[in-house]
Chain A
Amino acid sequence: MARFEKRGPRSPITQSIRVDKVHPRARVLRRLIAILSLLVALIMLLPVFVMGISAFKTRADVMSSPPKILFRPTLEGFMLLFTDRAVVSQARQEELQQEARAGKLTLFARLALEAGMEITGPSAYVFRLWNSVIIAGISTVASVVLGLFAAYAFSRFKVPGKDDLLFFILSTRMLPAVVVTIPLFLMYRQLGLHDKHLGMIILYTVFNLSFSVWLLKGFIDEIPKEYEEAALVDGYTRLQAFFRVVLPQAASGVAATTVFCLIFAWNEYAFALMLTSQRARTAPPSIATMMGRGGIEWSAIAAGSLGFLIPVVIVTFALRKYLLRGITFGAIRG
């Protein structure tokens, strides 16, 4: 600009003063930052990678040092994870081998046979994974739905003591899990909610609610009030306006909140460990307890962890269209 001013507008502009061209030094800096963040990402992803390949290794390959990058993949880990097995006699083994040759055995049964074992049924882990799906799924839906209504009320109506209430809701999030587990344990024992699906669903819903109310309120605040007002004068009731106008506008916020709530409920470990034992036990504590029994089946643990990641990855992937906007926490208006 300085050059431009000095010579005045009539002298020909020989040098570009456009700002959309980036200075070479800035370009190098940008590239450096990119490389650096890529490196950090790689380091962060290394354990996930190790877990991923370990899930497909045989018992021997897992333990080998230095770790093998190239190996023959096997589903042995998954077989160990998903089934209960029993050692079988020589006679029964031969019988099974014949069945295997006839192609009657499943993949897992054949893998078990190689170790001289027969599958007796699905393992407890299968039920626990199912428990995780039920508890995390229902509590996520509940906390997002309840949070959405609460957030809408806080955003649009005059609620007496609004700020105090909002702070109270936030404060429920401030206690670390460890502090409340003992009283919760005692309460749940008395109420008969210990080791019950309902108990865990209520707990996770309450825990996620504070988060979802705050997050969704931010998104709803961003939606201009006129949208609903237009619907109201156009002949819709408040509830219809909410479903037909507010909800579609808040889609990205709802998606982001859903993913965050799901990740919390799905990954939660401390409460699940304390408040469940058999019937309602979820997957995270059971993966950990697998380490205890006899020899450690590293490939089974890796397989369990890998399988455990998949539902969250699927949901996140399915909602990614909305997430990209949602993850900026409503900073950018769509």
Chain B
Amino acid sequence: MATIELQKVEKKFGELHAVKPLDLTIGDGEFVVLLGPSGCGKTTTLRMISGLETVTGGRILLNGSEVTWKHPSERDMAFVFQFYALYSHLSVRQNIAFPLQAQGMKREAVDKRVNEVVEILRIRPLLRQRPGKLSGGDQQRVALARALVRRPAAFLMDEPLGALDAELRESMRAEIKNLHLAQHATTVYVTHDQIEAMAMGDRIVVMSEAEVQQVGTPVEVYNNPANLFVARFIGSPGMNLVKGRLSGGAVRTAAGGSYEVPAPWRQPLAECLDAQGELTLGFRPEAARVTPDGSLAGEVYASEMHGGHTVLHVNIGAGEIVHIRSDRQSAYPMGTAVRFAVDPEMARFFNPRTGAAVRREADG
């Protein structure tokens, strides 16, 4: 059980900034997901927490005491690797017992602990086998068992499900989340998969280009993205972003559409935007509704059946495509002219030059 605190932690590889100074406090028992595209510095951050990578600057605190320059073995954190890192020359049982042997634990105590985690992860039948013979899911369970058996202060997981196929990933996702809830152990989890982040995290740290873009709960990050990057990155498909210009209390899009700015946004927008009034309107696919009296219009470019709903790709002119979720199961023929309205509660606005979201008072 632990809190982890990063204070202005940064990492440079020569001239390259892999992680720009980063502040983050991870509470006791919290499940924090570091999310971002590859090369954004999320794995480097995790490795710095574990001690496998040295920091170029800043401090790392574990339970309030500094561990910045401590050897990985002295930090009491367990690391789960993407490719499991199971020792092929040892049996599953020996693999799980491996970290306990480092502590010089007695044989009986080791057996007792191993038996406990084996029960939790339901891998007893595998104990005698070699890890190389196991399926990907079972290998990952063994890797989790090896982390769990130590009862570490914190779990660090580097894309632990990245090497599994889609179906297995989904069930392992639930398994890890369950495990976390039962153990209530502080966990830092790295992934590039935003669905995984949304499904598992108590909080999500969205990173891009070596910088933190936003820290927040999944709902916050989804509903109120801090900038255009987060808006695009979270959600599948991401948030629709339509360029326009503010004039006379309405957004005029490049293609001639118009969207009346909801009342609560008028004041903040007037304060944030420059004289030209350029802005970007953002809305989630489910915030838009196809309706004959909608103020925005376009023609159907493609219609994707997703089972319970259909996602329409609507060309709103000038090559701008927006995604609209429709509950109608039948397909719209290509080229159908549609009108749609955006829920005023769910509309978001961005400054296209800085990329930052325009904030209302209510959002803080």
The chain A residues found within 8 Å of chain B, CB to CB, are 224, 226-227, 229-237, 240, 245, 248-249, 251, 334
Contact = CB atoms under 8 A, between A and B. Distances in A.
A230 B52 CA distance: 9
A242 to B, nearest CB: 13
A233 B81 CA distance: 11
Contacts of B89: 248-249, 251
B103 A235 contact: yes
13 contacts: A226-B83, A227-B85, A230-B81, A232-B72, A233-B77, A233-B78, A234-B73, A234-B78, A234-B98, A235-B73, A235-B102, A237-B71, A334-B88
Contacts of A249: 87-89
B50 interface: yes
Contact of A226 (B85, B99, B146): B85
Contact of B146 (A232, A234, A248): A234
A229 B81 contact: yes
Nearest to A227: B85
B51 interface: yes
Contacts of A236: 73, 102
A234 B150 contact: yes
B102 A240 contact: yes
Nearest to A249: B89
B87 A232 contact: no
B87 A245 contact: yes
Contacts of B73: 232-237
Contact of B85 (A229, A235, A334): A229
B151 to A, nearest CB: 12
A292 B304 CA distance: 92
Contacts of B50: 233
B79 A233 contact: yes
A234 B72 CA distance: 8
A232 B52 contact: yes
Nearest to B99: A234
Contacts of A235: 73, 99, 102-103, 150
B169 interface: no
Contacts of A234: 73, 78, 98-99, 102, 146, 150
Given A229-B79, A233-B79, 12 more contacts: A224-B85, A227-B85, A229-B52, A230-B146, A231-B98, A232-B52, A232-B73, A233-B156, A235-B73, A235-B99, A237-B71, A249-B88
Between B50, B71, B77, the greatest number of chain A beta carbons within 10 A of the residue's beta carbon is seen for: B71
Contacts of A224: 83, 85
B339 interface: no
Nearest to B80: A230
Given A236-B73, A245-B87, A230 B103 contact: no
A233 B98 contact: no
Interface string B33-70: 00000000000000000111000000000000000000
Contacts of B72: 229, 232-233
A210 B142 CA distance: 40
B75 interface: yes
B188 to A, nearest CB: 13
A8 to B, nearest CB: 27
Nearest to A232: B72
B66 to A, nearest CB: 18
Nearest to A241: B73
A254 to B, nearest CB: 13
A154 B254 CA distance: 59
Nearest to B89: A248
Contacts of A245: 87
Contacts of A240: 102
A231 B81 CA distance: 12
A32 to B, nearest CB: 37
B67 to A, nearest CB: 12
Nearest to B74: A235
Nearest to B76: A235
Contacts of B83: 224, 226
